Amino acid sequence: MADIPVRCFAASVVLLRLMDGQPEVLLLRRDHTLVGEWCQVAGTIENGEKAWEAALREVKEETGLACHRFYSADICEQFYEADRDAISLLPVFVGFVDPRRPLSSIMSTANFAGFRSKKH
């Protein structure tokens, strides 16, 4: 039986803000890898860096924003990378940003999306 390597090389952040008391989540449209896909902030953990440090750095680099509250989501994203024949695990964090701060994303498209409550 062949082994499939498991890698942990990056961190992921679900970025939220409260606008008029309603939560919104940031979605980024990728233009380098996974071109055209909508996703959350994510990036590589650099040598000597902890996953949470990488997550905070990636938020700043990809959005120009800083988290005023930051938590571990206590889950990991997991996916199979066919080109590397490896399973990747990414620790997930949740960050809250100031809604008054302007978004300055390096992505071609980045938007905060609100949630609609379903009325019964």
Highest mean pLDDT among 14-23, 35-44, 87-96: 87-96
Check: CATH 3.40.630.30 for 6-99? no
- So what's the pLDDT on residue 31? 73
Q: Write the DSSP assignment of the chain as a string of letters.
A: -----EE--EEEEEEEEEETTEEEEEEEE-SSSSTT-EE-EEEEPPTT--HHHHHHHHHHHHHS--EEEEEEEEEEEEEEETTTTEEEEEEEEEEEE-TTSPP--SSSEEEEEE--PPP-
Q: Are 45 and 9 in contact (CB under 8 A)?
A: yes
What pTM value is reported for the model? 0.84
Mean model confidence pLDDT for the chain: 87
Residue 106 has pLDDT above 70, yes or no: no
Structural domain boundaries in the chain: 6-99
- Structure confidence by residue, pLDDT tens digits, 41-98: 999 999 999 999 999 999 999 888 999 999 999 999 999 988 889 899 999 999 999 9
- So what's the pLDDT on residue 118? 64
Burial class (CB in 10 A: 0-12, 13-18, 19+), 50: exposed
- So what's the pLDDT on residue 96? 96
Rounded-to-integer distance, Cα 107 and Cα 36, Å: 10
Residue 120 has pLDDT above 90, yes or no: no
